Amino acid sequence: MRVLGLIPARGGSKGVPRKNLKPLGGRPLLYYTAQAARAAQRLTRTILSTDDPEIAALGREYGIEVPFLRPAELARDDTPTLPVAQHALRWMEERGGETFDALCLLQPTNPLRRATEIDRCIALLEETGADAVATVLPVPAEHNPHWVYFREPDGTLRLSTGEAAPIPRRQALPPAFHREGSVYVVRRDVLLERGSFYGDRFIGCEVSPERSVNIDTIEDWRRAEELLAAAPPEWPA
């Protein structure tokens, strides 16, 4: 498969100001995603989408292509990721003259992903014929949908699954997962024509909770520092 790696890194940030340039473990946050992308074997090309010339220069320094500066209307605080990804893929097709089978989204806010996790997700997409694959984490039993209740307007509780009674034993709960966020791989037609990162057939690639962090706040940043300090020597492989 021809897979376009995309690192979206705009200049603004509310939770952690200028976080893509902020040093984490002595290096800018962007460095870690760039290194993982470059170490991955299954990405055809990797580009950086940013509105910020300083971030663009740093991306080039780390060996990541920056074929354009992102339009301002796609770099606001409330801009969803979907149109950013669509813009990048369309730009590469219409102006770059290249076509791709899929796009792999790599958010810089997940600095501890491994290159092997990128490759595993792409391999799953190719081998299973899924519309999309993303990294996932197991949901703790106490948060399993079969044990989670919604409150009705009258104050009564109902199980999120609609069942009359919860499954009584923890051991009988079916495995549940939530999106981890470090790797998304989606087929071109699903992204561009259906406007989705998931499609109809979505598959999860389970990763380790011990090495997962999504930086949105200063507390997340501190946890990332701790995890990075304990990372094995072979990281980001």
Peptide bond into 236 cis (omega under 30): yes
With a cut of 70, say whether residue 213 has pLDDT above it. yes
Quote the percentage of the chain above a pLDDT of 70: 97
Q: What are the φ and ψ backbone dihedral angles of 102, each rounded to 5 degrees?
A: -155, 165
With a cut of 80, say whether residue 14 has pLDDT above it. no
**Closest among 144, 223, 218, 154 to 176, alpha carbons compared:** 144
Question: What does the alpha-carbon distance between residue 42 and residue 19 come to, in Å, rounded to a whole number?
Answer: 28
Spatial contact of 205 and 134, defined as CB atoms under 8 Å apart: yes
pLDDT, tens digit, for every residue of 115-143?
999 999 999 999 999 999 999 999 999 99
> What mean pLDDT is reported for the chain?
93
pLDDT bin (cut points 50, 70, 90) of residue 46 is very high
Number of helices and strands in the chain (H, E): 6, 10
Token representation of residue 3: 């897979």
pLDDT bin (cut points 50, 70, 90) of residue 199 is very high
Question: What does the alpha-carbon distance between residue 131 and residue 189 come to, in Å, rounded to a whole number?
Answer: 9
Determine the pLDDT at residue 237: 64
pLDDT, tens digit, for every residue of 200-211?
999 999 998 888
Q: Looking at 44-155, which runs of residues are DSSP E strands? A: 45-49, 102-105, 132-138, 149-151
* Average pLDDT estimate for 94-111: 94
Determine the pLDDT at residue 15: 63
pLDDT bin (cut points 50, 70, 90) of residue 11 is confident
**Closest among 133, 130, 149, 136 to 177, alpha carbons compared:** 136
